[in-house]
Amino acid sequence: MKEKLVVIGNGMAGMRTVEELLKINPELYDITVFGDEPYGNYNRILLSPVLAGEKTIDDIMLNTMDWYEENNIKLHAGKRVSEINRIARTVTASDGLVEEYDRLLIATGSKPFMIPIPGHDKEGVIAFRDIKDVDIMLEATRNYKHATIIGGGLLGLEAANGMMQHGMKVTVVHLSDTLMERQMDSVSGKMLRNSLEEKGMDFRMEAQTAEITGNGRVTGINFADGTSLETDLVVMAVGIRPNIELAQQAGLHCERGIVVNDTLQTYDPKIYSVGECVQHRGDTYGLVAPLFEMAKVCANHLAQMGIGLYQGSVTSTKLKVTGIDLFSAGDFTGDDTTEELVIQDAGSGLYKKLVIKNNCLIGAVLYGDTKEGAWYFQLMRSAQDISDIRDKLLFGESHLGDSGHGGDHIADMSDETEVCGCNGVCKGDIVKAITTEGLFSLDEVRAHTKASASCGSCTGLVEQILESTLGSDYETPESKPLCLCTDHPHEEVREAIRKQKLTSIKAVRRALNWKTEDGCPACRMSLNYYVQSAWHNEAQDDPQSRFINERAHANIQKDGKYSVIPRMWGGMTTPDELRAIADAAEKYEIRDVHLTGGQRIGLYGVEKAVLPKIWKDLNDAGMVSGHAYGKAMRTVKTCVGKQWCRFGTQNSTELGIKLEELTWASWMPHKFKLAVSGCPRNCAEATIKDFGVVCVDSGYELHIGGNGGIKVRATDLLCNVTTEEEVMEYCAAFIQFYREDAHYLERTAPWVERIGLSRIEDVVVKDEAKRSHYAKRFHEAQKISQIDPWKERSTNGVAAHEFTSIKVINA
């Protein structure tokens, strides 16, 4: 018999947990949900736009009644649980209904705090929390004239704005002298107040409410200073209190909230809790992003995968008032140890303040223009060193030159604009999926639309579309986990591999508590690379965790046939090589012979079983694999340089050959291309390569981080050197640092932008000891790596099973 899971609270955190659970293991439990409110689960955040008349209740339903039925979930909508019996393992609803549980999830959210002043219980004094409250407010806009909101925080201002949209006169009463003082400094708070006043909102700042007056229904407010105000409706928006009574009655340990550990368990291990009702490591939360993170971890434990920890969240806020753009995150006040970058332009209503500590961004307040908010937030959470971009930081990501995604024009972008070239997904498709399917995260958009699910180069754009469609509901990933099988980001995984000396994929999965038994393609390929790049002497390659091209040492084509591209050192060839290629092409009836962009010759349309034979013929003529199929060093493109060209300054071809001999057969996080040009005319296009050399009279310019692919990026000049030996040493060190630092599938261009040129200079240029350390490690690894994989297979019988069928049936 299935175990029984009972959920108390049919809100955003509880249902997200159930959804996550169904994703991992839909069969594990019989699920029963109690919800005090008589509906399915709706998006509470969007009550503000509903109040403002911009959305309807139907628009904001996340899980309709049908959804519960389709997923075999028993929903008791409109039933309040009044008792938990931990010994009998039952819950009882206020109408007497009893359900048994094996595991219980408490997701009761929070209650709005009502200031207990005289008169707070009169008719017409309400909170702003649920659909019922919105109904009362909308009703009031039809029958009354004047509403007062107590509390000038996020919620209060959204309520005030909503009521004002219906033509009501609205006064906001606030205790302090700055609106939203928990999210804003005094400058931006003042700007906000000015814009709201322009819209017609009234304020009573630094005012303390003493009493609510009226006979049965509210008619006015008296303040502590003796003044008073007439009003027909009072909305209290002064804060929330975790809803813990039920848990307290059941004897669960509670402080401000229900105390949970990193696996979201209460003091009774059968009972879990998520959402605003919990207190985790001393913090309670009132925004959805952290609650969704909790939901993910909790679901994992409920699914008995037993891994993943919730370790707290950094949060950011945006105000959902149309026409007002405001963003705030982190520590925006700062102190003696912090620095501030500020732009203020009162005339155009712009204000930006960034707080910096130890070269990291730790807080931000944006007013008037918030499109960079997501980027700043990302910088904060990843604690990235910003010294390289400091001078441009205030102007935003799009001012970083090539590095931006150019996505600050999301709003202007037409629905037909193609966002994901790989899967042909347009902006309109993504927006539609987000709104109709109720998506919140990048992974969800990927699963539903396939946008950014393939090459990933449009990830930034998709994130920005999410951000612009959802506003503040968008969960900015902390630092992104390596894949869905783990919560650990790349850096943590690599550190564990180094520190704990993990030399196989299996060992990593075990040490880091992977959520899936044998991983997914994304983590398998990454881990296979990571263990080998850290422990090249000891780690074993796992062919089954390589993409087919790297397993078969040839590129799979769309019809299942393969291509064969032998290496041509430095782009040079000989009549003998050309003859051998021509012979092979004829012998194996090659359909297409093509000159590649990397200065070599490709043979297309080879059956897999024929690969070892054709390799043998090419090997016999002295040729080896060109690794044109791998996340590996590909080619060194050269020009003829000093040997022939009248402008040539150095022997670029010979240097190219030497570099290729140094680097061939090295595995990389992604493909890696080199080039050497004989003079600054740069015929070998060295400035769009991962490592490019431009020869000059005085020696060699070394360029890094170029890319001629989906997004073109010109290289950064790393340094000048004077001898070929130095070129080789710097090249080896640069490659090894890239191999050990970049994420798998991260090309040098985005990597350089992510970690900053100065860090690379520190390692490769400025510090001789580091340079020689990395160069040495590269040489060691190459000793093991430089074996021709074609010869291994064509002559030495390695992996024979890869190229033959197990059985041929002629019937």
Interface region with ligand FAD, contact rule CB under 6 A, candidates 29-37, 54-62, 164-172, 663-671: 29-37
Question: Which of residues 541 and 654 has its CB atom nearest to ligand SF4 in the complex?
Answer: 654
HSE, side-chain direction, 13 A CA sphere, residue 721: 17
* Residue spans of beta strands (DSSP E) within 41-144: 41-42, 61-63, 73-77, 81-85, 90-93, 98-100, 103-106, 110-112, 125-127
Least separation in angstroms between CB 548 and ligand FAD: 43
Closest CA to 715 of 740, 745, 693: 693
Alpha helices in 182-327 (DSSP H): 186-199, 245-249, 288-302
Task: Look at residue 287 and give the partner it binds from ligand SF4, ligand FAD, another protein, none, a contact being a CB closer than 5 to 8 Å depending on partner kind.
Answer: ligand FAD
Interface region with ligand FAD, contact rule CB under 6 A, candidates 40-48, 65-73, 335-343, 502-510: 40-48
Interface region with ligand FAD, contact rule CB under 6 A, candidates 21-29, 34-42, 323-331, 552-560: 34-42
Considering only residues 628 through 647, tell me which ones interact with ligand SF4, judged by CB under 6 A.
639-641, 645, 647
Query: Quick one: how far is CA 311 from the chain centroid?
Result: 17
Closest CA to 705 of 388, 462, 391, 408: 388
Closest CA to 144 of 233, 65, 50: 233
Quick check: helix, strand or coil at residue 794?
helix
Angle at 778 between CA 777 and CA 781, to 5 degrees: 85
Question: Which of residues 276 and 429 has its CB atom nearest to another protein in the complex?
Answer: 429
**Which residues fall within 8 angstroms of residue 195, CB to CB, at 6 or more apart?**
323, 324, 349
Does residue 520 bind another protein (CB under 8 A)? yes
Least separation in angstroms between CB 519 and another protein: 6
Pairing of strands 98-100, 90-93: antiparallel
Does residue 1 bind another protein (CB under 8 A)? no
Considering only residues 446 through 475, tell me which ones interact with another protein, judged by CB under 8 A.
447-450, 453-454
State phi, psi for 444 to the nearest 5 degrees: -65, -40
Binding-site size, ligand SF4 (CB under 6 A): 13
Could you please report the per-residue DSSP string of 606-622? E-GGGHHHHHHHHHHTT
Which residue pairs from 20-27 have beta carbons closer than 8 angstroms and sit at least 24 positions apart in sequence? 20/295, 20/296, 20/298, 20/299, 20/300, 21/299, 21/302, 21/303, 22/71, 23/299, 24/299, 24/300, 24/303, 24/305, 24/515, 25/303, 25/304, 26/71, 27/2
Least separation in angstroms between CB 386 and another protein: 35
Does residue 155 bind ligand FAD (CB under 6 A)? yes
Question: Which of residues 243 and 652 has its CB atom nearest to ligand SF4 in the complex?
Answer: 652
Interface region with ligand FAD, contact rule CB under 6 A, candidates 281-289, 346-354, 487-495, 755-763: 281-289
Residue nearest to ligand FAD (CB): 11
Question: Which of residues 284 and 464 has its CB atom nearest to ligand FAD in the complex?
Answer: 284
Q: How far apart are CA 771 and CA 257, in angstroms?
A: 52
Does residue 205 bind another protein (CB under 8 A)? no
Does residue 98 bind another protein (CB under 8 A)? no
Does residue 472 bind ligand FAD (CB under 6 A)? yes
Question: Which of residues 44 and 169 has its CB atom nearest to ligand FAD in the complex?
Answer: 44
Contact 195, 164 (CB under 8 A): no
Residue of the chain from 80, 190, 199, 754 that contacts ligand FAD (CB under 6 A) = 80
Q: How far apart are CA 38 and CA 693, in angstroms?
A: 69
Interface region with another protein, contact rule CB under 8 A, candidates 270-278, 300-308, 518-526, 790-798: 518-526
Question: Which of residues 532 and 652 has its CB atom nearest to ligand SF4 in the complex?
Answer: 652
Does residue 811 bind another protein (CB under 8 A)? yes
Does residue 710 bind another protein (CB under 8 A)? no
Q: Cβ of 126: how many Cβ atoms within 10 Å? A: 21
End-to-end Cα distance, the chain: 46
State phi, psi for 655 to the nearest 5 degrees: -65, -40
Q: Cβ of 20: how many Cβ atoms within 10 Å? A: 18
How many residues does the structure list for the chain? 811
Considering only residues 105 through 124, tell me which ones interact with ligand FAD, judged by CB under 6 A.
107-109
Task: Look at residue 9 and give the partner it binds from ligand FAD, another protein, ligand SF4, none, a contact being a CB closer than 5 to 8 Å depending on partner kind.
Answer: ligand FAD
Task: Look at residue 453 and give the partner it binds from another protein, ligand SF4, ligand FAD, none, a contact being a CB closer than 5 to 8 Å depending on partner kind.
Answer: another protein
Q: How far apart are CA 61 and CA 438, in angstroms?
A: 9
Quick check: helix, strand or coil at residue 349?
coil
Interface region with another protein, contact rule CB under 8 A, candidates 206-214, 338-346, 378-386, 546-554: 546-554
Question: Which of residues 572 and 640 has its CB atom nearest to ligand SF4 in the complex?
Answer: 640
How does DSSP classify residue 287?
A: S
Closest CA to 42 of 56, 28, 31, 25: 56
Does residue 683 bind ligand SF4 (CB under 6 A)? yes
Question: Which of residues 240 and 455 has its CB atom nearest to ligand SF4 in the complex?
Answer: 455
Residue of the chain from 1, 87, 411, 809 that contacts another protein (CB under 8 A) = 809
Q: How far apart are CA 514 and CA 481, in angstroms?
A: 12
Considering only residues 421 through 450, tell me which ones interact with another protein, judged by CB under 8 A.
422-423, 447-450
Question: Which of residues 243 and 378 has its CB atom nearest to ligand FAD in the complex?
Answer: 243
Contact 47, 322 (CB under 8 A): no
Name the residue type at position 767: D
Question: Which of residues 241 and 399 has its CB atom nearest to ligand FAD in the complex?
Answer: 241
Task: Look at residue 682 and give the partner it binds from ligand SF4, ligand FAD, another protein, none, a contact being a CB closer than 5 to 8 Å depending on partner kind.
Answer: ligand SF4
How does DSSP classify residue 265?
A: B
Q: How far apart are CA 213 and CA 332, in angstroms?
A: 39
Residue of the chain from 6, 7, 9, 668 that contacts ligand FAD (CB under 6 A) = 9
Q: How far apart are CA 33 and CA 79, in angstroms?
A: 10
Does residue 34 bind ligand FAD (CB under 6 A)? yes
Does residue 810 bind another protein (CB under 8 A)? yes
Does residue 677 bind ligand SF4 (CB under 6 A)? yes
Residue of the chain from 4, 23, 37, 479 that contacts ligand FAD (CB under 6 A) = 37
Tokens of 276: 């605003």
Site string for ligand FAD, 669-698 (x = CB under 6 A): ------------------------------
Residue of the chain from 348, 411, 558, 586 that contacts another protein (CB under 8 A) = 558
Indicate left, alpha or beta for 101 from its phi (over 0: left) and psi (-120 to 50: alpha). beta
Residue of the chain from 215, 337, 348, 805 that contacts another protein (CB under 8 A) = 805
Residue of the chain from 128, 292, 569, 734 that contacts ligand FAD (CB under 6 A) = 128
How does DSSP classify residue 53?
A: T
Least separation in angstroms between CB 128 and ligand FAD: 5
CA 462, 463, 469, 473 dihedral sign is positive
CB-based burial label for 595 (10 Å; 0-12, 13-18, 19+): exposed
Contact 201, 172 (CB under 8 A): yes
Least separation in angstroms between CB 799 and another protein: 9
Does residue 12 bind ligand FAD (CB under 6 A)? yes
Task: Look at residue 805 and give the partner it binds from another protein, ligand SF4, ligand FAD, none, a contact being a CB closer than 5 to 8 Å depending on partner kind.
Answer: another protein
**Which residues fall within 8 angstroms of residue 646, CB to CB, at 6 or more apart?**
none
Least separation in angstroms between CB 516 and another protein: 7
Closest CA to 634 of 555, 703, 560, 577: 555
Residues engaged in binding ligand SF4 (CB under 6 A): 639-641, 645, 647-648, 652, 677-679, 681-683
Residues that bind another protein (CB under 8 A): 422-423, 447-450, 453-454, 516-521, 524-525, 543-545, 547-548, 552, 556, 558, 560, 801, 805-811
Q: Which residues bind ligand FAD (CB under 6 A)?
A: 8-14, 34-37, 44-45, 47-48, 80-81, 107-109, 128-129, 155, 158, 243, 246, 275-276, 286-289, 291, 320, 472-473
